[in-house]
Structure formats: structure tokens, C-alpha cells
């Protein structure tokens, strides 16, 4: 046994797995779950030896153990499910003779062994850990023949500092002896199947770039009389002496644990007076140092760039329909605006809302699809209110149940997809994103049909189109600069952007080009026409028996040139109305 190893047991004659006072030995303090990038997953095929009791099991360094005693086993996994022993089920009866805290001497034991290497890219001065996420029921671990530690409590992870045991320039031998029964069996017994072995992941890792010495464990943010500050309290004052300086990391932000967990998604903007700090400081002795807005040059050793941003496309897609609603209200008609487009857009907000909520995006991204649905429904009902002369009561009687139906469907889908995601089924979420994009694109295509039929772009607000297209541009830009290329996102955003560019192009061809020709023609005829005459020339009107009826102006921010069919329709309706008035 290596001289570095810990004593094999606390009390001579009583093994660790039978002693009620021994729960863990030489394990690191428990911490929140995090697997750093500098880690190696030791899962896979290990060598394995199974015996009926610990005394018969191989020991580290034994050279007289026949190779026939060693087989292979998959880690993670239970040895009973891989041909060693049998699964055992109990309900109210203990699986072993009841004599707490002692486990039976006939205690099936599995010995696992394998080798591993320390990557040459890892800092040789960093702390190195072995982490076992779950081992049933108790186990000792050895590295290069030295006993490193002991743990029990099969559903809890255990970590061991193996810095002093490993070799950086040669393979390392890892030896794990697992006991089926232990003193912990008495507190773990319940209605269950008893299955043994290394049944969860095993990692070999460097906790952080500068090493984690565990001297600083308790970190709090304070708001004393000097503003927001940062306090680090060492758990072991003896570790902080002039002879043993250690680097440790200060990190402060205003986010909660939940928002940090979802940091892969866009976060809310930081308040102007919030304290944001991340620095590595070398501190000797036990004390405190103030920190607040702005850098502390006396503590600054190394900094990391922080990038903050906000999602412009979501802002665009929350307000784009407001200009359309205002223009419809001011014109008191919605000629040319397709109600089918607005209904498709309203439905598009349902799967988009499901996607954003189930993905646990921040509040702004959860609300944006609801705003899209609400504004689309308002625009949709305007088409019927103005064009079909519906009353307010009738419009509300239709739109409110439709909105309630959409809300109910969205709530049901959220519940269902959360269950699916918990079962690690991701394709329904992807389907929601695709369905939303298809509905939005289909809505724009309905307007293409109107453009083709009337050979003009009418009814739709230029400002609305521009804001929505700008949202697509921002989205495409953000996708391009992501670490991983999102092909699906690029296809979705590019498709809608191309459709909007087509609307702009059609407006230029059918609306802007004839308008410019008309202006040029008037300029050639002369400049002596009065403003009133020029206005009358641009205004559709009907004259009958000395009575002149003027049509509605188009908004200056609307692509609209009345088509021949539309002009004829307006003429017919005006003539009919005027005849009725004159005869009366």
C-alpha cells in the first residue's frame, strides 16, 4: 500500500461498511451539481471481479489473481443485470438479517478496475477530482494502489481529491471495491428492487481553471451602508496564511439561481446601477475587501469579457401590427387587407407561445407570442367590422370566444409538451417552432394572391411590413453569429424575409412605378394647375346632377393604388347611394 493512502478502517476489526459512525471518509464537501468542461467521463467497459464476500475479493496490486477471475462490465450499470448475482425485491422485510448496524459477512462484493490518463492540456497545479454520481451500496476507491477514500449512501454523489495520488506522465490505475450491503442498508430499505454496482456516471475532472481549494465555501451578497458588496468567508482559516496563498474567484451578479440555469437563453437587460463583477483575486489572510460599480485595480488579476445584448427582433415582432391597426382605424376601412392572413398569424402565436414557455425562456419571450396573437385578432376583427359593417357587440361576440379557444389550446399543449420534454422527447417542441413559421409564411402568401388578382399592393401598411422584415433581418444576424449554425432558424427567418421583399418589390412595380409615371406626366403638361385641381385629379370621385362624391384617401404609409375593379365597385356603390338620396 502506498504511504500516501489513508488508514483502511477507523476502528481495527470493524470494517467501514459495518461501522455506523463511518459514513464517508476523505470525501470533499457536498456542492451544487456542475460538471466543468475540463472533465473526462469514465463510463464504458471496466474490468470486473465478483465474489461472495469482501475477504475473497482481489486487492490492489495483487499479482497472483488468475486472469480468469476478471471479466468485463458496463459502467454505469447494475451487476445483477449483467450476469452477477440476482435482483432482489423486498416490501416490508429487510433483505438481510436484522442486526443494525452490522451487514452480513457474506456480503457480495464487486471489484471494478480500469486505467486513465491525465490530459496534457490540463494544468498540472490544478486540483483533480474523482466524482461518483451513484454507487450501491458502499465502496472504497484506490488510485495507483493507494486507498483514497470511502463513501456510502447510494443515491448521493461523492467526490474525492486525487491530486496527490495521480501521475501526469503515465497511466493511472483506478480500483473500486463495491459492497452490496452496508450499515446504510438499514436506512435505505423500502419497497424497491435491490440492485448493486456503479449505476450512475463517473467523472474525472478539474473543478475550475485556477483550482478549487475549497477554502472559500460561503459567499453572500451584502447591501450594507456602503452599497452592494461581496463577502467571501473562508471555511478553514488555517488555510489562509502568508505561507499558503491561494487564488480564488470572486463572482457577483444580480441573477437568481433559476435565471443562471437558463442562461443559454436571452436574459433581461441589467439595471444601470447593478453590480456586475467577475475577477480572480489573490488574497492573503482572513479579511474583507469592498467592491462595487467599477473595477478594483488593486484586486484585479485577470478579467473575462462580459457580453450583454437584447433581442431586437422580439421588439419588432411585438409592435409590428400596431401601425396596421391605427391605419385601419383612421381610414375606417380595411380594403385589401386579408382577414385570412390575420387569422393565420393569430394561430401562429399559439405554437410559438408553447415553444417559448416550455423552453423556459425569459418573461419577455413568453409574452411576445401572446402579443402577436392579440394584435392579429384585433386586426382580423377590424376587417369584418369595417368591411361587413359589424356592430361592436357582434365583433366582440366573435373574437372573444376565438381568443379563449386559442388560449385553452395553448395551455393544453404546454402541459402535454412539458410531460414529453420530461421524458426527453424533443421533437414536439421542434414541431411547434416549425408550425408557427409555416402559419406566418402562409399568412403572407394569402396577400400574394390578392396582389396577383388585383395587380396592386393594397390595404397592407408599409410600416408594418418594414418592421416585421426588420425583425427577420435581426434574427438572421443573430443566428449567423451563434457558436453553432442553426440551419432550421436560418431557413425560417430567410423564408419570411424573402416573402416580405417580394411584397416590397410588388409595391414598387404595381404602385410606385405608375405613381411616378403619373407625376412625370403632370409635370410635362405644365405647372400652372392649381393645388385644388391637382388634388382633385388624384382623388377618385363620382359626379351626378351637380353632386360630387369623393372617395376615401389612402394613407401615405400604405401601399395602395385602387385597381380598376375596385374603382368600378366604388363607382357603382356611390352611384346607387346618390340615386337613393336624390330620389328621397
User: Rounded mean pLDDT of 383-396?
Assistant: 90
Contacting residues for 46 by C-beta, under 8 A, at least 6 apart: 72, 73, 74, 75, 112, 113, 114, 198
Look at residue 380 and tell me whether its pLDDT is greater than 60: yes
Q: Which tens digits make up the pLDDT trace of 143-179?
A: 999 999 999 987 889 999 999 999 988 999 999 999 9
User: Coil, helix or strand for 41?
Assistant: strand
Burial of 261 (0-12, 13-18, 19+ CB in 10 A): exposed
403 versus 288: the higher-pLDDT residue is: 403
Indicate whether this model's pTM tops 0.75.
Answer: no
DSSP state letter for 418: H
Dihedral angle sign, alpha carbons of residues 511, 512, 518, 522: positive
Contact by Cβ (8 Å): 116, 143:
no
Look at residue 39 and tell me whether its pLDDT is greater than 90: no
Strand partners, 203: 41, 131
Work out the pLDDT band at 94, boundaries 50, 70, 90. confident
**Lowest model confidence (mean pLDDT) among 26-40, 441-455, 547-561:** 547-561
**Lowest model confidence (mean pLDDT) among 201-210, 289-298, 455-464, 479-488:** 289-298
Look at residue 33 and tell me whether its pLDDT is greater than 50: yes
Res 362: pLDDT: 65
Contact by Cβ (8 Å): 213, 240:
no
* Rounded Cα–Cα distance for residues 344 and 350 (Å): 10
- The cell for 410 is 395553448
233 versus 380: the higher-pLDDT residue is: 380
- The cell for 526 is 405644365
CA atoms within 13 A on the CB side of 402: 18
346 versus 321: the higher-pLDDT residue is: 346
User: Rounded mean pLDDT of 187-214?
Assistant: 73
- Cα 511 off chain centre by: 44
**What are residue 32's phi and psi, to 5 degrees?**
-70, 155
Res 532: pLDDT: 46
Res 561: pLDDT: 39
Contact by Cβ (8 Å): 130, 124:
no
Look at residue 116 and tell me whether its pLDDT is greater than 50: yes
Find the length of the chain: 584
DSSP state letter for 555: P
Closest to 138 measured CA to CA, from 19, 275, 29? 19
Contacting residues for 151 by C-beta, under 8 A, at least 6 apart: 23, 24, 25, 27, 132, 135, 138, 139, 158
* Rounded Cα–Cα distance for residues 36 and 530 (Å): 78
Place of cell 475587501: 289
142 versus 242: the higher-pLDDT residue is: 142
Work out the pLDDT band at 235, boundaries 50, 70, 90. very low
- Cα 139 off chain centre by: 37
Q: Which tens digits make up the pLDDT trace of 306-339?
A: 343 445 656 677 777 888 888 888 888 888 888 8
Contact by Cβ (8 Å): 264, 243:
no
DSSP state letter for 11: B
DSSP state letter for 509: I
Res 155: pLDDT: 84
* Rounded Cα–Cα distance for residues 518 and 511 (Å): 11
Res 4: pLDDT: 55
**What are residue 239's phi and psi, to 5 degrees?**
-75, -10
Contact by Cβ (8 Å): 440, 321:
no
Contact by Cβ (8 Å): 458, 559:
yes
Peptide bond before 76: cis, by omega within 30 degrees of 0?
Answer: yes
Strand partners, 252: 277
Closest to 433 measured CA to CA, from 356, 340, 368, 507? 356
Look at residue 87 and tell me whether its pLDDT is greater than 80: yes
Q: Which tens digits make up the pLDDT trace of 455-504?
A: 888 888 878 888 888 877 877 776 666 655 667 767 777 888 888 898 88
**What are residue 332's phi and psi, to 5 degrees?**
60, 30
Res 217: pLDDT: 35
Look at residue 270 and tell me whether its pLDDT is greater than 70: no
Look at residue 277 and tell me whether its pLDDT is greater than 60: no
| Average pLDDT over the chain, rounded to an integer | 73
Contact by Cβ (8 Å): 91, 191:
yes
Res 108: pLDDT: 95
Res 477: pLDDT: 76
Res 171: pLDDT: 94
Work out the pLDDT band at 30, boundaries 50, 70, 90. confident
Contact by Cβ (8 Å): 177, 111:
yes
Look at residue 71 and tell me whether its pLDDT is greater than 50: yes
In the chain the domains, ranked by start, together with CATH numbers, are 16-205 (2.60.120.260), 213-310 (no CATH), 312-522 (no CATH), 533-583 (no CATH)
Res 214: pLDDT: 37
Radius of gyration of the chain (CA): 37
Going from the C-alpha of 242 to that of each of 212, 280, 503, 576, the distances in angstroms are: 18, 18, 72, 100
CA atoms within 13 A on the CB side of 556: 0
Percent of the chain's residues with pLDDT above 70? 66
Look at residue 573 and tell me whether its pLDDT is greater than 60: no
Amino acid at each position: 500500500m502506498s504511504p500516501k493512502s489513508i488508514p483502511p478502517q477507523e476502528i481495527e476489526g470493524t470494517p467501514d461498511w459495518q461501522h455506523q459512525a463511518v459514513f464517508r471518509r476523505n470525501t470533499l464537501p457536498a456542492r451544487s451539481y456542475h460538471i466543468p468542461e475540463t472533465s473526462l467521463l469514465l463510463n464504458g467497459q471496466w474490468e470486473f471481479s465478483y465474489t461472495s464476500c469482501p475477504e475473497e475479493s482481489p486487492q490492489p496490486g495483487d499479482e497472483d489473481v488468475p486472469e480468469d477471475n476478471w471479466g468485463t462490465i458496463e459502467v454505469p450499470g447494475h451487476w445483477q443485470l449483467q450476469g452477477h448475482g440476482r435482483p432482489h425485491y423486498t416490501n416490508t422485510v429487510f433483505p438481510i438479517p436484522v442486526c443494525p448496524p452490522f451487514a452480513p459477512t457474506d456480503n457480495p462484493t464487486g471489484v471494478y478496475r480500469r486505467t486513465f490518463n491525465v490530459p496534457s492540456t490540463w494544468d498540472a497545479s490544478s486540483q483533480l477530482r474523482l466524482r461518483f454520481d451513484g454507487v450501491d451500496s458502499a465502496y472504497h476507491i484506490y488510485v495507483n494502489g493507494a486507498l483514497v477514500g470511502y463513501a456510502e449512501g447510494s443515491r448521493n454523489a461523492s467526490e474525492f481529491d486525487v491530486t496527490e495520488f495521480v501521475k501526469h506522465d503515465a497511466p493511472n490505475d483506478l480500483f473500486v471495491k463495491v459492497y452490496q450491503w452496508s450499515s446504510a442498508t438499514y436506512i435505505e430499505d423500502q419497497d424497491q428492487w435491490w440492485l448493486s454496482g456503479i449505476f450512475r456516471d463517473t467523472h474525472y475532472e478539474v473543478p475550475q481553471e485556477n483550482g478549487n481549494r475549497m477554502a472559500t465555501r460561503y459567499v453572500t451578497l451584502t447591501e450594507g451602508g456602503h452599497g452592494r458588496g461581496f463577502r467571501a468567508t473562508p471555511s478553514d482559516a488555517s488555510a489562509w496564511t502568508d505561507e499558503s496563498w491561494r487564488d480564488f474567484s470572486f463572482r457577483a451578479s444580480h441573477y437568481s439561481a433559476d435565471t443562471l440555469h437558463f442562461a443559454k437563453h436571452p436574459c433581461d437587460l441589467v439595471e444601470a446601477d447593478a453590480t456586475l463583477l467577475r475577477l480572480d483575486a489573490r488574497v492573503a489572510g482572513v479579511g474583507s475587501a469592498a467592491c462595487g460599480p467599477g473595477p478594483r485595480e488593486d484586486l484585479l488579476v485577470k478579467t473575462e469579457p462580459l457580453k450583454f445584448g437584447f433581442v431586437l427582433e422580439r421588439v419588432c415582432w411585438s409592435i409590428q401590427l400596431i401601425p396596421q391597426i391605427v391605419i385601419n382605424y383612421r381610414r375606417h376601412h380595411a380594403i385589401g387587407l386579408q382577414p385570412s392572413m390575420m387569422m393565420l398569424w393569430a394561430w401562429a402565436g399559439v405554437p410559438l407561445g408553447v415553444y417559448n414557455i416550455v423552453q423556459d425562456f425569459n418573461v419577455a419571450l413568453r409574452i411576445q407570442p401572446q402579443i402577436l396573437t392579440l394584435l392579429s385578432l384585433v386586426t382580423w376583427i377590424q376587417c369584418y367590422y369595417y368591411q361587413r359593417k359589424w356592430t361592436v357587440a357582434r365583433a366582440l361576440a366573435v373574437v372573444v370566444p376565438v381568443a379563449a379557444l386559442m388560449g385553452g389550446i395553448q395551455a393544453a399543449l404546454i402541459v402535454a409538451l412539458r410531460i414529453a420534454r420530461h421524458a426527453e422527447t424533443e421533437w414536439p417542441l421542434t414541431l411547434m417552432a416549425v408550425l408557427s413559421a409555416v402559419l406566418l409564411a402562409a399568412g403572407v402568401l394569402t396577400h400574394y394572391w390578392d396582389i396577383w388578382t388585383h395587380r396592386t399592393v393594397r390595404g397592407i401598411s408599409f410600416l408594418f411590413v418594414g418592421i416585421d422584415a426588420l425583425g427577420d433581418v435581426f434574427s438572421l444576424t443573430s443566428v449567423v453569429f451563434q457558436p453553432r449554425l442553426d440551419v432550421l432558424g436560418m431557413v425560417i427567418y430567410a423564408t419570411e424575409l424573402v416573402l416580405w421583399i417580394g411584397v416590397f418589390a410588388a409595391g414598387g412595380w404595381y404602385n410606385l412605378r405608375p405613381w411616378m409615371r403619373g407625376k412625370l406626366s403632370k409635370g410635362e403638361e405644365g405647372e400652372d394647375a392649381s393645388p385644388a385641381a391637382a388634388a382633385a385629379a388624384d382623388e377618385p370621385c363620382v359626379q351626378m346632377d351637380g353632386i360630387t362624391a369623393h372617395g376615401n384617401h389612402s394613407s401615405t404609409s400604405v401601399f395602395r393604388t385602387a385597381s380598376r375593379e375596385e374603382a368600378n365597385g366604388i363607382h357603382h356603390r356611390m352611384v346607387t347611394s346618390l340615386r337613393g338620396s336624390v330620389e328621397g
